[in-house]
Amino acid sequence: MAEKSYTVAILGATGAVGTRLITQLEHSTIPVKQVKLLASSRSAGKQLSFNGRPVTVEEATPASFQGVDLVLASAGGAVSKALLPAAVAAGAVCVDNTSYWRMNDHVPLVVPEVNAAALAEHHGIIANPNCSTIQMVVALAPIRQQYGLKQVIVSTYQAASGAGQSALNELYAEAKQAVNGEEMTANILPVKGAAHHYPLAFNLLPQIDVFHDDGYTHEEWKMIHETKKILVGDKNSPDPKVTATCVRVPVPISHGESVYIETEQQPSPADLRATLTAAPGVVVQDDPAQQLYPQSLTATGKRDTFVGRIRADAENPGSYNLWIVSDNLLKGAAWNTVQIAEELVKQNLVHVAAGDAALFSDQD
């Protein structure tokens, strides 16, 4: 019997994440029969390639998903809201990199190293968590499993590309203006369409996404609530408390995170290093004598999450500081999405049950 192969649609194929979805899919274990590259009408007709063969970008419409087995979506929340129910109705399983479906009770929120088992409960849509959440839970889940996890206090150092290709372009344009002695012009960050825009180059912007009434940004809200949704799957330990401060920094790719944790047991830093060294998807870079620690430049282009600067808080036994860096476009987005799809294929879960599509209709 021939190995089953899959028709895969990439929704939002021309963006910073979309182009990486193509390359991550090229390097995946998924047997691809055919690839469909979908985007807005503006990008339709553009020529891209998959495994060296040219593919023409098509406009994404509700009719695009006939005959599609898997959808990898990264075209923005509004597009995922509008189109993924049609994809599920057409029988396609969707792995969605946008935030729109993440907190829906019928949608597993999955980081394969942490909660791949949650995929078995899918109803046609699986959500890829927020980039800053993914790299944090990859490192914290093994610690939680072994030592329990009571509290997480995270401060992020997030790269421009987390806000898309246009924000990345703006960072470089501003940097060029600044080194040429020109005034910097900002039109995108901190939030597309917001009333005020501020330069990111040579600056720090403590706003990512819009504000909630309690003063937290939506990015901070995501880190708190997505982390709880992902880690709740592990019943060995009560849910950790989580708080977050998210800051955009003038770095193109790869987020940094300064994470303070309180565990139930009191492992030594060496114990934590051993646990993380054995953890899937994690690379420990923690040798002060060699000045070895995670950096954005060295993490970029890699699928792993890098952890270093592991230190005990001498005044609070059972509390630790960690420094976590990962490529926000790969593990934080495209690679985690393709990795979920690989897992769906491996677990033979690329099918939609009768009635599943109805769960996602009449959304508002």
Is 16 one of the annotated binding-site residues?
yes
Q: Does the annotation count 122 as an active-site position?
A: no
Pick 166 or 203: Cβ nearer a copy of itself: 203
Taking CB under 8 A as the rule, does residue 207 contact a copy of itself?
yes
Per-residue H/E/C for the chain: CCCCCEEEEEECCCCHHHHHHHHHHHCCCCCEEEEEEEECCCCCCCEEEECCEEEECEECCHHHHCCCCEEEECCCHHHHHHHHHHHHHCCCEEEECCCCCCCCCCCCECCHHHHHHHHHHCCCEEECCCHHHHHHHHHHHHHHHHHCEEEEEEEEEECHHHHCHHHHHHHHHHHHHHHCCCCCCCCCCCCCCCCCCCCCCCCCECCCCCECCCCCEHHHHHHHHHHHHHHCCCCCCCCCEEEEEEEECCCCCCEEEEEEEEECCCCCHHHHHHHHHCCCCEEECCEHHHCECCCHHHHCCCCCEEEEEEEECCCCCCEEEEEEEECCCHHHHHHHHHHHHHHHHHCCCCCCCCCCHHHHCCCC
Pick 302 or 309: Cβ nearer a copy of itself: 309
Taking CB under 8 A as the rule, does residue 195 contact a copy of itself?
yes
Taking CB under 8 A as the rule, does residue 232 contact a copy of itself?
no
Q: Does the annotation count 255 as an active-site position?
A: yes
Residues 310-329 that bind a copy of itself (CB under 8 A): 310-316, 319, 321, 323, 325
Question: Mask: binding to a copy of itself, 93-132, rule CB under 8 A, as x and -?
Answer: ----------------------------------------
Pick 1 or 289: Cβ nearer a copy of itself: 289
Is 162 one of the annotated binding-site residues?
yes
Taking CB under 8 A as the rule, does residue 193 contact a copy of itself?
no
Whose tokens are 């005044």? That residue is: 315
Taking CB under 8 A as the rule, does residue 204 contact a copy of itself?
yes
In the complex, the smallest distance separating the C-beta of residue 192 from a copy of itself, rounded to whole angstroms, is 13
- Tell me the site size for a copy of itself, rule CB under 8 A: 62
Residues 152-191 that bind a copy of itself (CB under 8 A): 153, 155, 157, 172, 175-176, 178-179, 190
Taking CB under 8 A as the rule, does residue 293 contact a copy of itself?
yes
Taking CB under 8 A as the rule, does residue 199 contact a copy of itself?
yes
| Residue numbers at the binding site for a copy of itself (CB under 8 A) | 151, 153, 155, 157, 172, 175-176, 178-179, 190, 194-196, 198-199, 202-207, 211, 214-216, 241-243, 245, 247, 249-252, 254, 256, 258, 260, 269, 286, 288-291, 293-297, 308-316, 319, 321, 323, 325
Residues assigned a catalytic role: 131, 255
Which amino acids are annotated as binding site for substrate, given as ranges?
158, 248
